[in-house]
Structure formats: structure tokens, C-alpha cells
Chain A
Amino acid sequence: MNRIVKKEKLAPQINLIKLEVPEITRKAQPGQFVILRIHEDGERIPMSIADLEPETGLLTIIFQEVGKSTVQLGKFKAGDGLCDVVGPLGKPTHIEQFGKCVCVGGGIGIAPIHPIAKALKKAGNEVISIIGARTKELLIMEEEMKKTSDEFVVCTDDGSYGFNGFVTQPLSQMLKDGKQLNFCMVIGPVPMMKAACMVTQPYEIKTMVSLNPIMIDGTGMCGVCRVTVGGKTKFACVDGPDFDGHQVDFDELSRRLSMYVKQEKISLEKYLSLTGK
């Protein structure tokens, strides 16, 4: 149950795992997420869905090793099983024929934007993708994104590959050049999502973001994932994770994401000392 059929290191500390969860894969749609636990005393870890293969029942997640649980998950190999996987959770991304769409993905956020780009393309949209990473080594899913895009831009913060700068810069340039965009989807680190939304706002382009606040049950029961959207409190797990980016209080989201920084450090240090690193 919940068997890992493939595990691949995409970049330093970035892993891809294909999970055999046919019932979830059959029902999941782009934009939704799953929650997994790796052992009996483990935390519930929300994970975006990076790809779905309904024919084979495989669901792909891509994650970065940042805390104890993700470092530990990084040690899992093909053939290992996870304690539990629950999903699909959250509302699917709203897909329709918008016209010209831009998908902006930053860092690990490229993973969840991939199935959305595919779905937008399938719905008859023209898809422009702008993806970026800190440096070339950390860039993921370039080929997959290129394949699903009509126009494709890649950026690195340090200029080691593609455009030298942030993803917001080519986006801004496109708009300045008078490109007519009908829909924008942004997924990535909070500061990047905030910046991209500031770019599209003056042009009144419908811009959706997928948020990743702290979650426990992921089904509306605890309220830890609450975010302020348009002055109202929403639960990202059941009202989202997609929200109108022009309405999201990103600063509050950043603060709430830092709630357990101290404990996360304790937990990771304890784990590393036990595993001898």
C-alpha cells in the first residue's frame, strides 16, 4: 500500500517520488493536493501533486528537503511504502478556455504548476510558461514544462542559465510590450507570488496563486491554514488552495508559515544527530 515505485533525485535536496495510489490518482485533478505520513509518529505533510497518470495509477510528488520529515522522506527508496496517503484534497484549479495564459513557476512551485499548464493547454489555451530557480542546478522539470508550452522562458537568479533575473521580470516585460494575457497562474515561494501579483495587478489580469500554509488534517477541521483573502478569513485546505492573488495577504501568510521555525530546527537537529550526520 502507498508504495513508492520510483524515486529520483532531481537536484540537490529536491526529490521526485512516484506513488502507487490508484484510487486517489483516478479522482485527483490539477491543483489538488495529498497529505502523507511517513511513519506512525509522523506529522501530516501536505504535498502538491506534480503529475497524474490515471492509466497506471501513479501520482508524482516533488519535494525539497527542508525539515525533519522531508529529509527523512528523502531517504525513502523505490519499493518502500508510506504509512498513509490521503487525498485528493482541496479544490481543483478552475480550468476553462481563457485564451492566452501564463504559468509562472518558481523553485519547487514548478512541480504543481506543471499539471495545471497541461490542463490549460488541453482546454485549448495558448500557454506561456515562465519558470525560474535560484541557480541552474536547482531548476526542475524544464523539459516537461517546455513540452506543454507554446512559449517558454527560463530564468535563474544568478544568471547561470537562461534569463538572468527573477521570473517577474520577463512577465513584466511581456505586459509592457503590450502582450494581451487573459489568465495568470503563479506558484512558488511566497515573496515571488506576491511580486508576480503586483506585476499583473495594474493590468487587471486574473491571477491565481496556490497557497501552501501549515496544515494538519487538510480537510477543514483545524483552521491552522487560515489565510486572509479580500479581508476575509479562508481555509486554504477547503476553500483553496487556489485564491485570487490580488486579494491575498501574503505578509500574513509569511508570518504564519514561520510559526514553528524553532521547533522545526529542534526536530531536524535531533533527527540528524540520531542518524549520525
Chain B
Amino acid sequence: METKDRLKIPRQKMPEQTPEQRIHNFREVPLGYTPELAQKEATRCLQCKKPTCIDGCPVEVDIPGFLKLIEQGEFVAAAKKLKETNSLPAVCGRVCPQEEQCEKTCILSKKFTPCAIGNLERFAADYEREKGDVEIPEILKSTGKKVAVVGSGPAGLTVAGDLIKMGHEVTVFELLHKAGGVLVYGIPEFRLPKVIVEAEVDYLVKMGVKVKTSWPVGTIQTVDELFQEGYHAVFLGTGAGLPNFMGIPGENLNGIYSANEYLTRSNLMKAYSFPEADTPISSGKNVAVLGGGNTAMDSVRTALRLGAENAMIVYRRSSAEMPAREGEIHHAQEEGIQFHFLTTPIRFLGNSDGWVTEMECLKMKLGEPDKSGRRRPIPIEGSNFKMKVDTVMVAIGNSSHPLVPQTTPGLELNKWGNIIADPETGQTSRKGVFAGGDIVTGGATVILAAGAGKKAARAIHAYLKTL
């Protein structure tokens, strides 16, 4: 097809559940491309000689390569092409901020709308999985080297997938009862169905990765004990698991959750199906979520599905500064989420039973940009007002998970408790110990963690060769 004809095709929208339908269920919102839609969309790719889209991908996916295969109807081959560099395509196709990455650097985005790379990645991975016979790639001859991967989130799973293909023996240790890290406890079913995470983990297991759940490295076995047991290298991908709170009066009243708790109850423990599942969750009527990131959006949309009458985002800056993905904000708006911008709570008030009933807030105005480049919110004196709430989620970020850093002598940390690691290799201050993902960077995205895992896998492979 001629370039001018390709340019005439509009970006294909992915069908989704209507807002009226989806606020009553936990099923995924976008429904996926049909093969026809996918081929049409893939045809929009101009197959650039020097593709700029790849520059925007932390895991270096051969984007024009897999798009070409989709255009030709070779869907399984497209999935295989993706998996050459990305162990988690069905996950990344859904939760990567493509608009900030590959789609931002897509040549089409200069004059037109970019090719829907994320949607197509999802399509190819789903097609292969739903077809049922996911093929196992070639595994190189055993090197006899053993690697321990601590944490089964996106960083750990990526390291495991890459190293097993290179012929190393890999065991993943997870402290929760289910593998997947933030993909299972943090991201809701309506954004990332858990069967997909299970399938990605199964794929690793089929390649030979051992997965040990309910295994808290740090207490049941320290990093030093892993070496003593014969592991040649250790990768730490233990994430940013410790929730931050506001530190304001009344925060320990009943009905006030960390977003982590609320989401873990709903996602990992399936509290949305209580009493079918044993773990309860409070389904409030007036629910306020503090924060403006993706976790805040996930929390408020979960509360809506659990029956909230007023599901509200309370954010101290304005809509322009919200760190959440545009698509998520858009979905939240469609579903009727209320946004209170330039607002910050200063204390919570409760009833005699200790339940939160009100939240006293201040209005804010925006000042000069701060270190993050976003305009700093400044409280407006005397602007106090009260909001009626019965459930509050605090979604203002997480700190590093303390279990492994606390029990690994000689592991250097920065002042926030994050592990100090070389950004190109993941090498830490300890020989044979590598780290990547949120435990190094602080709370970031799935794909940045996967990218760090990719680099660390390469460095671990090189390190193992020196032994």
C-alpha cells in the first residue's frame, strides 16, 4: 500500500463497555480489537526505515516488525516477535503509558494521530493466549548457574524470563500467596484481568522458572543465605510497598484506608465478591480518594463499582498536573467520578464509634513550579471547608519495602530507603546482588520496572560468565 493511502486510515478505536454497563461490574473496560480492526490499525504503520517509536520503548520491542506481521495476518508470529524482547506483552499492552513512550515518538504523531501500538500489542498477545497453544521459545543449554529473583512484580518476572532463556536456573520468591506483585494486588481486574497475569506467570513456569510463593526473603531466608544455598546471583525487585499517609489528625479513624489496602482487599483478596470470598471491604456512600495518580484512579473506580454514591478524587493541584494517564482520567470522568481540584485535607473528623464522617479541607492555588516541574500548590488561608465522607483512601505514593534492605548487610540505600543501583546494570553495592524497579526508583510504572529488569538480566548474564 502507498504511504498516502496508509495515511488516509483513521486510528481505530478499541470497543469498550459503556460507562453505564461497566460501573456495575469488575470486567475489563476495553474489549479488544477484532482481527479486522487490528489489521486495519497495523496498516497505518509507515514501516519507517529508521523507526523512532522503538526509541520510546524501555524494553526495545521491534515495533514495526510486529505491526507488519499483524498487517499480514500473522498474529501468532507477531506475539512471538513481541516476546523476543518483552516477557509481558499482554500486561504492557494494557498498562504501559504508550502516549508517553512509543506512541509519542511514532512519526505519525507529528502531523496525525500515532499508530495504536499499545492496543496492537495487547491484541497480538491476547490472540496467542486465547488460541491456547502458547509456544515455548528456545532455551539455551544449561549454564549450571542459579539465580534467585526476589519479588514477582514486573521487574522480577522480566529478569526471570530473560535469564531462563539464556540457560540459567531461575527461582522467583514472592512473599504474598500469589505471584505478580503489583499486577495482582494493585491493578484492578477492570484494567488488568488476573487471568492474564496468571497466564504470563504460567508461561515463565513452562519455560522452567520455579516460583515460590508465601516466601518472605529477609525473614525466612536472608540474601546471604540464598548465596550459601548455592545461588550465584540475586536480583531484588521488591517494589515500593510501604504506603505513605498524610500525617494529619484523625487519619487512623475507621474507614480511612491506604490505597494499597483498599486495592489489595479488592484485587488480591477478591473482597468485591464478599461474602463469597472471606475478606470484607467497606462499601462507602461518600468516598474520597486523596491523590491524582493511576493508583488514585484505580481506587476511586473500585469504590464506584462497590456502590459509592459519590466517588470523588481530591487532589491538591489542578487537572493539568495529575500524574494519572489521560485515558484513565477520561474513563473515570465517563463513569461519573467527581473531581475536586486544588483541595487538600487538613484533618479528619469522626463519630463516637471512631468512624470518619467529615474531612476538613483547604483550597489551594498554584505557585511557581517545584522540583518535579509541576506548579507548587499553596494553601489559601481561611478557605477551610468540610466535606462529608464515610470512606477515604490515601493514594499519595509508597515508600520502599523494608524487609530485604533491613536484613541485607552492606546493601547501600539512599535517604528514602531505596536501594542504590547502577541504572544501566542494576548492580548494587553488594557483589552478585542486582536490583531494579520501584525498590530502586521509588514508585514508577510497570514498563520502567520491566525495562530495569531487562538491563539487569543482561548484566547478571555477563556477571555469571565471569564466575
CA distance A229 to B59 in the complex (A): 45
Interface residues of B in 270-288 (CB under 8 A from A): 270, 273-280, 282
Interface contact A43-B269, CB-CB below 8 Å:
yes
CA distance A252 to B176 in the complex (A): 28
Q: Mark B201-230, 1 if CB is under 8 A from A, else 0.
A: 000000000000111100111000000000
Interface residues of B in 209-255 (CB under 8 A from A): 213-216, 219-221, 241-243, 245, 247, 251-252, 254-255
Is A228 an interface residue, CB under 8 A from the partner? yes
Q: In whole Å, how far is B291's beta carbon from the nearest beta carbon of chain A?
A: 14
Stretch of B37-45, B123-131, B256-264 contacting A (4+ beta carbons < 8 Å):
B256-264
Closest residue of chain B to A2 (Cβ to Cβ) is B214
Q: Mark A241-261, 1 if CB is under 8 A from B, else 0.
A: 000000000001001101110
The interface size bin for chain B is 35 or more
Is B196 an interface residue, CB under 8 A from the partner? no
CA distance A207 to B216 in the complex (A): 30
Set of chain B residues within 8 Å of A88, measured between Cβ atoms: 219-220
Q: In whole Å, how far is A63's beta carbon from the nearest beta carbon of chain B?
A: 15
Q: Mark B173-189, 1 if CB is under 8 A from A, else 0.
A: 00111000000010000
A27 in complex: contacting residue of B220, B252, B255, CB < 8 Å: B220
Set of chain B residues within 8 Å of A259, measured between Cβ atoms: 254-255, 282
A85 in complex: contacting residue of B214, B243, B274, CB < 8 Å: B214
Interface contact A220-B269, CB-CB below 8 Å:
no
Interface residues of A in 54-70 (CB under 8 A from B): 68-69
Is A44 an interface residue, CB under 8 A from the partner? yes
Interface residues of B in 144-188 (CB under 8 A from A): 175-177, 185
CA distance A219 to B280 in the complex (A): 19
Q: Evaluate whether A221 and B269 lie within 8 angstroms (CB atoms) in the complex, with A86-B216, A216-B261 already known.
A: no
Set of chain A residues within 8 Å of B257, measured between Cβ atoms: 223-224
Is B353 an interface residue, CB under 8 A from the partner? yes
CA distance A270 to B213 in the complex (A): 30
Q: Evaluate whether A223 and B258 lie within 8 angstroms (CB atoms) in the complex, with A87-B220, A89-B216, A255-B354 already known.
A: yes
Interface contact B177-A37, CB-CB below 8 Å:
yes
Q: In whole Å, how far is B26's beta carbon from the nearest beta carbon of chain A?
A: 15
Is A194 an interface residue, CB under 8 A from the partner? no
CA distance A113 to B353 in the complex (A): 31
- Could you tell me how many residues of chain A have their Cβ less than 8 Å away from some Cβ of chain B? 43
CA distance A270 to B280 in the complex (A): 13
- Which of A42, A220, A223, A259 is most buried by chain B, counting CB atoms within 10 A of its CB? A223
Set of chain B residues within 8 Å of A217, measured between Cβ atoms: 175-176, 185, 264
CA distance A68 to B275 in the complex (A): 10
Q: In whole Å, how far is A41's beta carbon from the nearest beta carbon of chain B?
A: 4
Interface contact A220-B279, CB-CB below 8 Å:
no
Interface contact A224-B252, CB-CB below 8 Å:
no
CA distance A238 to B242 in the complex (A): 10
Q: In whole Å, how far is B289's beta carbon from the nearest beta carbon of chain A?
A: 15
CA distance A122 to B252 in the complex (A): 39
Q: Mark A2-32, 1 if CB is under 8 A from B, else 0.
A: 0000000000000000000001100100001
Is B30 an interface residue, CB under 8 A from the partner? no
Interface contact A27-B279, CB-CB below 8 Å:
no
Interface contact A87-B260, CB-CB below 8 Å:
no
B213 in complex: contacting residue of A27, A84, A87, A256, CB < 8 Å: A84
B177 in complex: contacting residue of A68, A83, A87, A222, CB < 8 Å: A83
Is B340 an interface residue, CB under 8 A from the partner? no
A23 in complex: contacting residue of B175, B220, B277, B282, CB < 8 Å: B220
Is A264 an interface residue, CB under 8 A from the partner? yes
Interface contact B245-A223, CB-CB below 8 Å:
yes
Interface contact A223-B277, CB-CB below 8 Å:
no
CA distance A99 to B291 in the complex (A): 51
Set of chain B residues within 8 Å of A44, measured between Cβ atoms: 177, 269, 279
A223 in complex: contacting residue of B185, B216, B243, B254, CB < 8 Å: B243
Is A121 an interface residue, CB under 8 A from the partner? no
Set of chain B residues within 8 Å of A263, measured between Cβ atoms: 274-275, 280
Set of chain B residues within 8 Å of A256, measured between Cβ atoms: 252, 254, 354
10 smallest CB-CB distances across A and B, nearest first, come from A255-B354, A263-B280, A222-B261, A86-B214, A223-B258, A43-B278, A221-B241, A41-B277, A43-B279, A84-B214
Given contacts A258-B353, A259-B255, list 17 more A-B pairs with CB under 8 A.
A41-B277, A44-B279, A86-B214, A87-B220, A216-B261, A216-B279, A219-B401, A220-B242, A222-B264, A222-B265, A223-B245, A256-B354, A258-B354, A263-B275, A263-B280, A264-B280, A267-B280
23 contacts between A and B (CB under 8 A): A37-B177, A41-B278, A42-B278, A219-B175, A219-B216, A219-B241, A220-B402, A220-B403, A221-B185, A221-B260, A221-B264, A222-B260, A222-B261, A223-B245, A223-B260, A224-B258, A226-B252, A233-B252, A252-B354, A255-B353, A258-B353, A259-B254, A270-B275
